Amino acid sequence: MECNFKEDVKSMEPLHEHNQRTYENICHMYNDGIQRVAVVQPTGSGKSFLMAKLIIQKADFLFYLQAIKSTISLKRNWMKIC
């Protein structure tokens, strides 16, 4: 079975408005030379669809995805960043 990324993108559901804005902001940030971007949204908000669209449409970019599984971990990692 061959992969056809252009067809895959066409068949994807459109992003919700908030994720479309996030997608556009990430693209602008990459174009401005920012290479590290964090997307923090609640469970069920469509982050997986957002990342799928980025990965399919920006195949020449390098992606590193990390999922944090608890609020405690999120707070601990946030404190390290700040």
* The pair of three-digit structure tokens given for residue 38, joined into one six-digit string: 């964090």
- Cα–Cα separations (whole angstroms), residue 50 to 1, 2, 16, 47, 63: 25, 23, 9, 5, 13
pTM for this prediction: 0.64
pLDDT tens column, 47-68: 888 888 888 887 777 777 777 6
- Note the pLDDT of residue 1: 44
- Note the pLDDT of residue 80: 55
pLDDT tens column, 4-34: 555 655 667 888 999 999 999 988 998 899 8
Q: CA geometry: angle at 63 spanning 76 and 2, to 5°?
A: 140
